[in-house]
Amino acid sequence: MQIGPYSLSNNVVLAPMAGVTDQPFRELCKELGAGLVVSEMLSSNPKVWQSQKSRKRMEYGGNEGVRVVQIAGSEPELLARAAQFNVANGAQIIDINMGCPAKKVNKKLAGSALLQFPELVESIIKAVVNAVSVPVTLKFRTGWDTGNKNAVQIAKIAQDNGIQSLALHGRTRACLYRGEVEYDTIKAVKQAVTLPVLANGDITSAQKAKQVLDYTQADGVMVGRAAQGNPWIFREIEHYLLTGKKRPAPTLQEVQATLSRHVCNVHQFYGEFMGVRIARKHVGWYLAEHDPCRSFRKTFNALESVEMQLEALEAYFGRLADEKPTGCSPAA
């Protein structure tokens, strides 16, 4: 898959997710097979660019491959300035967020709220594309609600005004993450434009990725929530698309090693105070399958240092390896 001058190693992409796709997670997903990884969205409001939260979102470790920064906002001029600012800081691709369904984003007429106003969409795209020399991409949804679906119209506007690839989440803003994904709409968008199109929404397994690609004829898939706690999904999808065969799931030992390294990297990136807290949600995602009763996670979430967290994980996996599955955490 090609985006501007960049040829991706494969067509399996990590979706931008606020509070999730930070530098440690992006580097891990790239290492485990993602062809491209995208940053958390950055506000176009210059007043927040120097906040600690924004500075952390802007950090790039160098092991992510092509650097893609997603920007969000509603004013063409501010989005253009945000694009220039991020390119000056090393962004190689700028992605415009028109897909986020969060209320606090939509209240500011950003994210998927923009889909209600195609003329504003066009103004934003023109402003950003003309402001930078790097490729500009667009992530969006099928429409504002089920009565107002305009993905094909938005895709044509994007193509006519210089966007170089599209990522379409197959639900409306009103649907949030509920209900069936509209793969028919993704298929219609792919037929309507010549741009590369990424299919996004409920790509939960290698087999599902293949089914969606075959049906929609999209150029690739974008994986979001299914990668939380399962960064191996990228290599599994890549392997299945290449060979038609399932790749074995990671062993318990690999899960432990990867999770422990991820926790260490989170602590190193954020420092102990924030690192402890951010590690908790990642551990919860990793262990959702192994700890359905949440017994271990309740204990883990009370720990206040990286040493205690790593010791608890080592003891937990030791018990998990020794005991037969019971449906509840052996740490209970």
Mean pLDDT by 10 residues, the chain (332 residues): 96 96 97 97 90 86 92 97 96 97 90 96 98 98 94 98 98 94 97 98 98 98 97 98 96 95 96 95 93 88 95 94 56 39
Please check whether the two domains, 2-243 and 252-322, share a CATH topology: no
In CATH terms, the fold of domain 2-243 is TIM Barrel (3.20.20)
Amino acid 97: pLDDT:
97
Amino acid 331: pLDDT:
41
Nearest to 140 by CA among 162, 107, 110, 103: 110
165 close to 137: Cβ distance less than 8 angstroms: yes
Catalytic residue list = 100
Backbone φ and ψ for 200, nearest 5 degrees, come out as -130, 140
Amino acid 325: pLDDT:
52
* Tally of CA atoms within 13 A in the half-sphere of 313 that contains its CB: 27
**How is the chain split into domains, by residue range?**
2-243, 252-322
DSSP letter string over 283-315?
HHHHTTTT-TT-HHHHHHTT--SHHHHHHHHHH
Amino acid 328: pLDDT:
45
DSSP letter string over 123-184?
HHHHHHHHH-SS-EEEEEESEEETTEE-HHHHHHHHHHTT---EEEESS-TTTTT-S---HH
Distance of alpha carbon 115 from alpha carbon 102, whole angstroms: 14
Amino acid 324: pLDDT:
53
In CATH terms, the fold of domain 252-322 is 1.10.1200
* pTM of the model as a whole: 0.93
Amino acid 163: pLDDT:
98
Cα torsion angle, 41, 43, 49, 53, sign: negative
Amino acid 52: pLDDT:
83
